[in-house]
Structure 1
Amino acid sequence: MERALLVGLVFVLLFGVGMSIPFDEKDLESEESLWDLYERWRSHHTVTRDIAEKHRKFNVFKANVRYIHEFNKNDAPYKLRLNKFGDLTKEEFRKTYAGSRIHHHMMFRGERRGTSNFTHAKTNDLPVSIDWRQKGAVTGVKDQGHCGINQIKTNKLLSLSEQELIDCDKGENQGCNGGLMDLAFDFIKKIGGLTSEVNYPYEAEEGTCDTLKENSPLVVIDGHVNVPENDEDALLKAVANQPVSVAIEASGTDFQFYSEGVFTGDCGTDLDHGVAIVGYGITQDGTKYWTVKNSWGPEWGEKGYIRMQRGISRKGGLCGIAMEASYPIKTSSNPTEKKTKTHKDEL
């Protein structure tokens, strides 16, 4: 099966977190116990605040802790936990971790443009579930910090450079201020491929393009395909064949503190974060879900992933997941493979 896999890289263009600390009713009994919990949380996550900010943040922390505690009393299909985002307001969280302003970029881009028509339209007999992680086609979860595909084709899983995209794609995309996945795919094709993360490591901030590193591509792609908008059936066909880049609204409080289970929470379609769907499945009680890879570190959610309900009647799917989906296509060999082939031919 020949399909492309640059998806796990590109979603971080649109843009962590440490282990959570447990708490119980006793921690919520008084201002003193809550302050002790806040100090333990700050120490655990090495969060520093000046005196004035510390007291303001404590009030935010109290509200978040109480929200998490009350929510987890409900019989919801997912749970929340206190993580590194514990003293961030919803607005602060969105600005830092889900501030890609994808709708803004969509308006300036205009009509979606793809290299070819939807290639999986005639796919039938889909498996009940699939997990591309189990097939070795997904790199490890990364942590985007404050900055906002190749394996299926070649059987080689390579970790590629997000920093090259941030520093060098200065056209319609805007580095740490976000962008669109399809435009990133266009850029990768235009420059002749992307280098490795080892060669051009991630800095979590926008810098000047290193042209020497940019001219050392490791993986090439031949374009990208847009999944039909607002069509979860088409999205399912695409994910059955390879991971897919999608945009979602991820700035809600439940998303901020998501821990485990199938996310069914309230969210709209104000797309503000890029992620990758790496599989799908169904729970024992019959709830259908997408397996989504995030970029907030492996300690957030289910080891860096979230399961999001699929197949709902709402236009665009849950959190707009079916509104802006795309995936790269690959038929060409990578530069290193071409060199190897030429060398063998010469021998």
Structure 2
Amino acid sequence: MERHSRIYETIEEKLLRFEIFKDNLFHIDDTNKKAANYWLGLNEFADLTHEEFKNNYLSLKPVNTRRDTVNDSSSSSLSTVEIRSNIPKAVDWRKKGAVTPVKNQGSCGSCWALSTIAAIEGINQIVTGNLTALSEQELIDCDTSYNNGCNGGLMDYAFAYIASTGGLHKEEDYPYIMEEGTCAADAKVVTISGYKDVPANNEQSLLKALANQPLSVAIDASGRDFQFYSGGVFDGHCGTSLDHGVAAVGYGSGEKGLDYVIVKNSWGPKWGEKGFIRMKRNTNKPERMCGLYKMASYPTKSK
């Protein structure tokens, strides 16, 4: 309670939360005895049931068919940046200065907006040399034709909106308020040309794209272990029903030879590995871990 500034209004509520906390702690301890490649830990979500956690923090709204790709000025079939014929063994866009600090969506179901912004911040830095934190709040307030603010959305719709409306504000000029607000869509500073979808369930295509820029990706984060992931290469139980928007910012191999994708989450820097999770990528499922390869896309930007 002290660490995470929890205040419970009644003794009944406190007792209820303590029982939930104990149940979560037992799950963490039990999982850590069994899991070999990742581990769980107590965090700010430890007084929430898993259903409460899912209702508050998972908000992607995928559709049965993806949007047709918006035309852009790039002649490349995969990226604005020239594709290497032999992709590197490892890439970490954090080390290349193309990833802003981890943000926290809070109780607003805006993961789709944070995923979109992370990818645009990345390509903007790669093309211009400037890492600029951009406004998720602008998407929440203004991109309302297909997306639903704090009630979920889809990254491709957001890319299309940004390309058609002339760009985005800086985050400092249009700060995040963790709720839906009034649209103020003027004074754009960062633009994109359009976006492209990575072919579904195709590892080579995803790694080629990721070798050139951060990507928006969708995952199934509904497994209970996601709530308390603390470190390691995640290879635990999860499905492929996409319910959370995140950003892929690199890939590599771990100490045990486990290949992984580095994923930037939007649950703050206290979750996971300072806000990131490494997800195993060599599995026997074409969708890969938690549907990671099912629905990836990225913005394009002219130099």
Normalised to the residue count of structure 1, the TM-score between the two structures is 0.79
Matched, 1:93 2:53: yes
1:278 to 249, 259, 276: 249
Matched, 1:81 2:41: yes
2:173 to 199, 205, 222: 199
Q: Deviations along 1:242-294, whole A, 9 cap, x unmatched?
A: 10000001122111000010000110111111100000001132110000000
Query: Partner residue of 2:218?
Result: 247
Secondary structure in 1 aligned to 2:211?
helix
| Aligned CA distance change for structure 1 residues 230 and 112 (closer, same or farther; 3 Å) | farther
Matched, 1:269 2:240: yes
Q: Distance in 2 between matches of 1:311 and 1:172?
A: 34
Q: CA RMSD in A?
A: 1.6
Q: Deviations along 1:179-236, whole A, 9 cap, x unmatched?
A: 11111000101110001011100000011212xxx21101000000100011122111
Q: Distance in 1 between matches of 2:77 and 2:136?
A: 26
Describe how 1:65-214 pairs up with structure 2 within 5 A.
65-100=25-60, 102-103=61-62, 106-107=63-64, 110-115=65-70, 118-119=77-78, 123-148=84-109, 149-210=123-184, 214=185
Gap regions ≥5 residues in structure 2: 110-122
Query: Partner residue of 1:288?
Result: 259
Q: Distance in 2 between matches of 1:43 and 1:284?
A: 36
Matched, 1:330 2:290: no
Cα deviation for residue 118 of structure 1 reads 3.9
Q: Deviations along 1:94-113, whole A, 9 cap, x unmatched?
A: 1111133x23xx13xx3431
- Code of the residue aligned with 2:68 in structure 1: it is R
Is the 1:118–1:226 contact (alpha carbons within 8 Å) kept by the matching residues of 2?
A: no
| Aligned CA distance change for structure 1 residues 136 and 267 (closer, same or farther; 3 Å) | same
Cα deviation for residue 130 of structure 1 reads 0.6
Q: Distance in 2 between matches of 1:135 and 1:53?
A: 46
Q: Distance in 2 between matches of 1:248 and 1:66?
A: 26
- Code of the residue aligned with 1:164 in structure 2: it is E
Is the 2:230–2:271 contact (alpha carbons within 8 Å) kept by the matching residues of 1?
A: yes
Secondary structure in 2 aligned to 1:72?
helix
1:53 to 13, 17, 28: 13
2:291 to 301, 320, 323: 320
Q: Distance in 2 between matches of 1:236 and 1:311?
A: 12
- Code of the residue aligned with 1:159 in structure 2: it is A
Q: Deviations along 1:136-195, whole A, 9 cap, x unmatched?
A: 011111111111131000000000000000000111011111111111000101110001
Secondary structure in 2 aligned to 1:61?
helix
Of Structure 1 and Structure 2, which has the larger fraction of its residues in helix? 1
Cα deviation for residue 317 of structure 1 reads 1.2
Cα deviation for residue 123 of structure 1 reads 4.5
Is the 2:59–2:153 contact (alpha carbons within 8 Å) kept by the matching residues of 1?
A: no
Is the 2:223–2:239 contact (alpha carbons within 8 Å) kept by the matching residues of 1?
A: no
Q: Deviations along 1:69-96, whole A, 9 cap, x unmatched?
A: 1222235200100000001111100111
Q: Distance in 2 between matches of 1:124 and 1:259?
A: 35
Q: Distance in 2 between matches of 1:59 and 1:285?
A: 37
Query: Partner residue of 1:256?
Result: 227
Indicate the percent of aligned positions where both proteins have the same amino acid.
53
Cα deviation for residue 122 of structure 1 reads 6.8
Query: Partner residue of 1:36?
Result: none
Query: Partner residue of 2:24?
Result: 64
Is the 1:118–1:227 contact (alpha carbons within 8 Å) kept by the matching residues of 2?
A: no
Q: Distance in 2 between matches of 1:46 and 1:139?
A: 26
Query: Partner residue of 1:218?
Result: 189
Secondary structure in 1 aligned to 2:301?
coil
Q: Distance in 1 between matches of 2:59 and 2:167?
A: 27
Is the 1:118–1:228 contact (alpha carbons within 8 Å) kept by the matching residues of 2?
A: no
Secondary structure in 1 aligned to 2:125?
helix
Q: Distance in 1 between matches of 2:203 and 2:255?
A: 21
Secondary structure in 2 aligned to 1:280?
strand
Gap regions ≥5 residues in structure 1: 1-41, 333-347
Normalised to the residue count of structure 2, the TM-score between the two structures is 0.90
- Equivalent pairs, count: 283
Q: Distance in 2 between matches of 1:111 and 1:186?
A: 12
Matched, 1:297 2:263: no
